[in-house]
Amino acid sequence: MSVYDTEEEQVEALKKWWSENGRSIVGGVVLGLAAVFGWQAWEQHQGQTAADASLRYDKMGQATQAGNSESALKLGEKIVADWPDSSYAVLAALDMAKIKLDQGGHAAAQAKYEWVLAQPGDTSLKQVARLRLARVMLGNGDLDGAEAVVAKADKDNFAGEFAVIRGDIASARKDYTAARTAYTNALASEVGNRRLVQMKLDNLVVAKDKQQ
């Protein structure tokens, strides 16, 4: 998958990819299990399961776009409950966390992100959850927690975004040398908002002068 400017674009790309390729993945599982369960019965069950999860997730998206947050949350909880091992459940959990954050429910959002990280499956979606969880913790002043979450991040296309958070954590601790290194590393990597990162880097000079 190509490199995207922000994790939100990553999520949208993954949603599109799953919508276009989910059935073929199910087909691959069918091939592997056909000898045990019987082709027709298993194919029908898996196909219906994927279709049901997809339909429910589409409805959740429609409710979110319509501003009906409570309906979207209920649909999301249903997806997680009925299809917990699916990518739709992970996507629904990410969407629910975003809604909860908009409502000021930081603890509830944090729980959703932690649930995503505990699931097997797509690494990119887990990286998105890890980024957002670290930001929530940082916003709540839990610097140690945010640092621990970031420390577990894989080195991939999100490396620049995690470097930004490392810089934010270091800056919050008034460790401006570490913050400068982190922001510089972020600019050297694929990072979404380069202008904001450069602004943070420039502001370190002012912050350091005030400290002295």
Give the total residue count for the chain: 212
**Domain ranges for the chain:** 1-118, 122-212
Pick the CATH number of 1-118 from 1.10.3470, 1.25.40, 1.10.490, 1.20.58: 1.25.40
Q: Torsion angle of alpha carbons 26, 27, 33, 39, nearest 10°?
A: 120
- Taking the domain 122-212, which CATH number applies? 1.25.40
pLDDT tens digit sequence for 44-97: 544 556 678 888 999 999 999 999 999 999 999 999 999 998 889 999 999 999
- Please report the pLDDT score of residue 19 as a whole number: 58
- Please report the pLDDT score of residue 28 as a whole number: 47
Decide whether 1-118 matches 122-212 in CATH topology.
Answer: yes
- Please report the pLDDT score of residue 13 as a whole number: 63
**Cα–Cα dist 81/201, whole Å:** 44
DSSP conformation class of 5: S
